[in-house]
């Protein structure tokens, strides 16, 4: 079984709809991240969480919210989806080593299309 799973893998929705993307991990990592990937722009950080009680905005958090329900679960919500949120969304986890971040482990991605 995959260490980092994302559901759904693909989603089509309409403008104005609320949608939630879910991420679960079995790696036991405290740190979790949500990124979006757009062609030519690479990966951009939306939100990150260093533990269940810690949520931080990334560089492009507007229009998004997150919930860290447990160490293993980190959900991303689009309260009112808009077409420019069409993208590939990745969840990732990491296990910090000393004062620095360790390798990030990525889920398979969720492809979202907002019509």
Residues that bind another protein (CB under 8 A): 4, 33, 35, 40-45, 48, 50, 56, 58, 90, 92, 100-101, 103-109
Q: Is the peptide bond before 21 cis (omega within 30 degrees of 0)?
A: no
Provide, rounded to whole angstroms, the least separation between the CB of residue 18 and another protein.
25
CA dihedral 22, 6, 62, 101 (to 10 degrees): 110
Q: Between 11 and 106, whose beta carbon lies closer to another protein?
A: 106
Smallest CA-to-CA distance from 45 within 89, 85, 103 is with 89
Provide, rounded to whole angstroms, the least separation between the CB of residue 25 and another protein.
12
């Amino acid at each position: 079984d995959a260490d980092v799973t994302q559901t759904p893998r693909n989603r089509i929705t309409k403008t104005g709809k609320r949608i939630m993307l879910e991420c679960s991990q079995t790696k036991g990592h405290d740190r979790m991240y949500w990124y979006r990937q757009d062609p030519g722009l690479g990966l951009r950080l939306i939100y990150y969480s260093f533990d269940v009680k810690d949520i931080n905005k990334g560089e492009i958090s507007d229009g998004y919210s997150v919930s860290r329900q447990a160490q293993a679960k980190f959900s991303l919500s689009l309260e009112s989806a808009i077409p420019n949120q069409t993208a590939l969304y990745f969840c990732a986890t990491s296990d910090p080593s000393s004062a620095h971040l360790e390798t990030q482990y990525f889920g398979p991605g969720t492809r979202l299309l907002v019509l």
